[in-house]
Amino acid sequence: MGLLERFFKPSWGVHPDDHKRPAADVPLRTLPLPERLYVPLQQHVGGPARPVVLAGQKVLKGQLLAEAQGNISAPVHAPTSGRVLAIGEVTAPHPSGLAQLAITLASDGDERWLEREPVADPFALAPEEIARLTAAAGVVGLGGATFPAAVKFNLGRRLKVSTLIVNGGECEPYLSSDDAVMRVRAAEVVDGLRIVMHAIGAANALVGIEDNKPEAIAAMRAAAAPFGDVAIRPVPARYPMGSDKQLIQVLTGKEVPADARAAEVGVLVHNVSTCAAVHRALRRGEALVERIVTVNGGAVRAPGNLLAPIGARVADLLAFAGLAAEPARLILGGPMMGTLLPHANVPLVKGASGVLAFDAREAARPAAGPCIRCGSCTVACPMGLLPLEMASRIRAGDLAGATGFGLSDCISCGCCAWVCPSHIPLVQYFSHARGELAAGERARLRNEATRRLVEQRGERLARDAREKAAAAAKRKAERDAAKAKAAAATESAAASSAAVSAKAVSP
Amino acid sequence: MLIAILSLTLLGAVLGLGLGLAARRFHVEGDPLVAQIEALMPGSNCGQCGFPGCPGAASAIAAGSAPVTACPPGGRALAKALAEKLGIAIDLGQVADAGPRIAAVAEEICIGCCRCIKVCPTDAIVGAAKQIHNVMREACTGCGNCVERCPTEAVTLQPVPVTLQHWVWPRPQLAGA
């Protein structure tokens, strides 16, 4: 199979127009510092961070704003120096348009850094120490999954991972932020990935880059030339090549089993931008407070890549790049898997690789028709699932049936919906079903917790009653004892008085 | 003396064995449906259905003497699950349900009387005499016992707010429908 795949292109996936140029070729620009920054407390998978600053407090750039809470969590840091205005709710970059907690920062324009503590030689540090410093810098997976990087390091070390796979696939159309990172910061990426190799104990690294990014491949080859254990591997441009399971399969020939993690087949995947962030966290002692983000789409006048602080509003980015038309649709991330935004007043988060403003033509969505069972989706599905069967079951409300067809293996890549000639929003069906299943699971756990609470209350009431009875019995015993004592005392007093009187009488 | 002991021991052993065998032989299965229904129910034994706790309601629902919509805290979701389990069709429009609700204490009216604490089936209310009480959201089942007990109407049932963690993508509308 490995041999076949070397000679033939993978059969899965789709090949949409990539729309990456001309944005990818525009030199990197820096977003002028916005007056206000809105730093959400949860920009990662896991528990939200807990604020450690107060409203009104002055902070420096890179200062801890909120600390990690729980095993899987990440801290957030001040993206610039200034004053904390408020800790409150702002609209989350989420299709629901619901609010999330965020720290609002008024920048003072000085960009004064907190005292940084760079590590001169990260390779002299213990792997645990690298994981600790990475976690403290708030580094999360920047490819979009936003899983805390340090947690993954520890997992890789525990499962004895031999190969680090560095994901430079960036298969989503329109996006070129990873491309920009590899072109501009190739040396940082390579140093960062070598630090990651040290942290997880990997012997070699494979950097997979889609062959539609020749400049990035050349820059990375030049940067990796001195290191024999780092191989740059161009891979065919095909969506979703940047998905970890697909990239692993193409680069190593190993298939990650369903319900297993990549680390269980001896590899660990990190994004190129994450590796660059690890480099900055250690070599410069800088927390993750900014990222390179692609601003693209038909409604943008000057598309390109911007270096922007975390917490800048999407509206700030769009205003800087200029709008040629009123955007018909706003997306954070890529067009295939990105997050639909309710409006532009949402903050930029760590996992946001792009901001897309589509014009009416790009956003046009043909009305969905009935499924004609053509099977195109089954060919396109990179996980080998049957999207049409899953969707028909979900439509009928049969979530268990959809799970039986492998709903949990779906990576929500959107290939099926992209090829569907009836334009059925298949991914929305799957997202809906997953949400409902998760809600059902939460309800079940809640039921169990309720039962436990009721039992514990029963036990508590029984214990209270027992203790009350014991206390009453004790009091009664004491009373009885006191009574008996008193009785004995009066008796002895009577006896002695009788004796006295007897004595008095006797003479 | 010895004969009496022996005969009584023998008698006891034989009768005991007989009883044990009979219990095995003539064992009556409890209705498994009741247990399954009980597992679906909130389990807080709040008594709003009018039955003695969730086991009582479960057996009544299994026997068909109570409707699947009998449990107010379970609401529409539970009614649907029960109807599926029993294979019957119900009109969910009939169920008065404003989604899941939990109790909340209006702090400016609470006088700290502790009455609600005593009737809470899950110990979800914290507080002490003459101290403002509060509801632990994770533990509240929304049974409403406390609402009736509060002398100042400080406890009310509020809809559970939808958060980012609980939000679910809506199901796509059917094509052409």
Burial A110-129 (b: 16+ CB within 10 A, else e): eeebbeeeebeebeebebee
Cα A93 to Cα A341: distance, rounded to the nearest angstrom: 6
Same domain, A268 and A402: no
Place B93 in a pLDDT band, splitting at 50, 70 and 90.
low
Same domain, A256 and A377: no
Q: Which among A424, A432, A453 has CB closest to B123?
A: A453
User: Is position A477 within any domain?
Assistant: no
CATH number of the domain enclosing A427? 1.10.1060
Which 139-158 residues of chain B touch chain A by CB within 8 A? 139, 141
Cα A34 to Cα A344: distance, rounded to the nearest angstrom: 14
- Does the beta-carbon distance from A450 to B170 stay under 8 Å? no
- CA-CA distances (angstroms) from residue A225 to A215, A373, A449? 15, 50, 57
**What pLDDT does A507 receive?**
45
The pLDDT profile of chain A, 507 residues, written as one tens digit per residue, is: 445 555 556 678 999 999 998 999 999 999 999 999 999 999 999 999 999 999 999 999 999 999 999 899 999 999 999 999 999 999 999 999 999 999 999 999 999 999 999 999 999 999 999 999 999 999 999 988 899 999 999 999 999 999 999 999 999 999 999 999 999 999 999 999 999 999 999 999 999 999 999 999 999 999 999 999 999 999 999 999 999 899 999 999 888 998 888 888 999 999 999 999 999 999 999 999 999 999 999 999 999 999 999 999 999 999 999 999 999 999 999 999 999 999 999 999 999 999 999 999 999 988 999 999 999 999 999 999 999 999 999 998 888 899 999 999 999 999 999 999 999 999 999 999 999 999 888 888 887 888 888 889 989 999 999 999 999 999 999 999 999 999 888 888 777 776 666 555 554
**What pLDDT does A441 receive?**
87
**What pLDDT does A145 receive?**
85
**What average pLDDT does range B40-66 have in this prediction?**
84
Q: Which domain holds residue A168?
A: 15-31+113-356
Same domain, A334 and A257: yes
Chain B residue closest in CA terms to A47: B165
User: Is position A472 within any domain?
Assistant: no
For residue B29, pLDDT over 80 is answered with no
Look at residues A331, A356, A381 and tell me which one is the last residue of a structural domain: A356
Same domain, A307 and A186: yes
List the domains of chain B with CATH numbers.
Answer: 32-94 (1.10.15.40), 101-159 (3.30.70.20)
- Does the beta-carbon distance from A449 to B139 stay under 8 Å? yes
Same domain, A382 and A269: no
Q: pLDDT (tens digit, 9 = 90+) per residue, A206-220?
A: 999 999 999 999 999
Cα-flanking dihedrals φ and ψ of residue B125, to 5°? -105, 130
CATH number of the domain enclosing A275? 3.40.50.11540
List of chain A residues whose C-beta atoms are within 8 Å of the C-beta of residue B122: 450, 453-454, 457
What type of residue sits at position A503?
Answer: K
Look at residues A356, A382, A408 and tell me which one is the last residue of a structural domain: A356
How many CB pairs below 8 Å do chains A and B form together?
77
User: Is position A342 within any domain?
Assistant: yes
- Does the beta-carbon distance from A447 to B171 stay under 8 Å? no
List of chain B residues whose C-beta atoms are within 8 Å of the C-beta of residue A435: 167-169
User: Is position A150 within any domain?
Assistant: yes
Same domain, A191 and A158: yes
- Does the beta-carbon distance from B44 to A450 stay under 8 Å? yes
- Does the beta-carbon distance from B139 to A453 stay under 8 Å? yes
CB contact B174 to A (< 8 Å): yes
Q: Which among B39, B168, B171 has CB closest to A439?
A: B168
Same domain, A264 and A338: yes
Same domain, A405 and A336: no
**What pLDDT does A49 receive?**
95
**What average pLDDT does range B71-98 have in this prediction?**
75
Cα A413 to Cα A337: distance, rounded to the nearest angstrom: 6
Decide: B74 and B46 in contact? Cβ < 8 Å.
Answer: no
User: Is position A87 within any domain?
Assistant: no
List of chain B residues whose C-beta atoms are within 8 Å of the C-beta of residue A436: 168
> What DSSP character marks residue A122?
G
Look at residues A356, A390, A418 and tell me which one is the last residue of a structural domain: A356
Place B33 in a pLDDT band, splitting at 50, 70 and 90.
confident
Same domain, A347 and A260: yes
**What pLDDT does B101 receive?**
82
User: Is position A59 within any domain?
Assistant: no
Decide: A247 and A222 in contact? Cβ < 8 Å.
Answer: no
What type of residue sits at position A378?
Answer: T
Q: pLDDT (tens digit, 9 = 90+) per residue, B125-175?
A: 999 999 999 999 888 888 888 998 999 999 999 988 888 888 989 888 765
Q: pLDDT (tens digit, 9 = 90+) per residue, A323-361?
A: 999 999 999 999 999 999 999 999 999 999 999 999 999
CB contact B161 to A (< 8 Å): no
CB contact B168 to A (< 8 Å): yes
Same domain, A297 and A381: no
User: Is position A24 within any domain?
Assistant: yes
10 Å Cβ neighbour count for B13?
A: 10
Nearest chain A CA: its distance from B45 CA (Å): 8
Same domain, A170 and A267: yes
- Does the beta-carbon distance from A369 to B175 stay under 8 Å? yes
Q: pLDDT (tens digit, 9 = 90+) per residue, B102-132?
A: 899 999 999 999 999 999 988 899 999 999 9
ipTM of the assembly? Answer: 0.78
List of chain A residues whose C-beta atoms are within 8 Å of the C-beta of residue B43: 447, 450-451, 454
CB contact B123 to A (< 8 Å): yes
Same domain, A441 and A336: no
Total domains in chain A come to: 2
User: Is position A406 within any domain?
Assistant: yes
